[in-house]
Amino acid sequence: MEREIKFEIKLKCLKDKNGHKAGDFVTIINNVFDRKNGIAFWPIDLDFDIVYKRQFTGYKDKNKNEIYEGDIIGDWNEIDGKMEQSKQTVYFDEMLGQWMLDNSFKQDRSLSYSLFSELQDFEYEIIGNVYENPELLTPNNPTHEPTNRIHRKRNDTNNHNHPQR
């Protein structure tokens, strides 16, 4: 079975159309996206600006929510005796040809792990995305360094988050 190719596209309405008012935001999930032309659907896309577009990774979080490019996902870690939620960004690494999690403190991709491997071992949940919740990645919001990995709860269930091959 092939993996599902689809996109989440957030649009801003430029004029009143199809029940939407100018300035409204609309989010659609679409299986067809023309990257060359940036067309999500026809003909109403001419009346909308693309705010962002994100590709589905083929994976789901612990709550069975679909994980998209740019999602911020986290798990819970014990740090200095208290529980804190880590925050990592999902991105596609062109060189490796796979979805990755940015585990670096500065979220600069200097320390990353395979999303597939991480979902097998740990219980992640979506907590936002880089477009709508960039404040989640500020220094005042904890991210975890690799040394905190030993405190993470291993996923003991049979994890079926990975896409069918």
Domain ranges within the chain, ordered by starting residue: 1-57, 61-155
Residue whose token pair is 């994100």:
54
Residue whose token pair is 């091959």:
165
> Does pLDDT of 161 surpass 50?
no
> Given this model, what pLDDT does residue 51 score?
87
Name the average pLDDT for the chain: 79
* Per-residue model confidence as pLDDT tens digits over 123-133: 999 999 999 99
Helices (H), the chain: 115-121
Q: How far apart are CA 91 and CA 23, in angstroms?
A: 29
Q: How far apart are CA 136 and CA 61, in angstroms?
A: 18
The whole-model pTM stands at 0.74
Select the more confidently predicted residue: 146 or 30.
30
* Per-residue model confidence as pLDDT tens digits over 52-85: 889 999 999 999 999 999 999 999 988 899 998 8
Domain spanning 61-155, CATH class: mainly beta
> Given this model, what pLDDT does residue 111 score?
93
Q: How far apart are CA 126 and CA 74, in angstroms?
A: 7
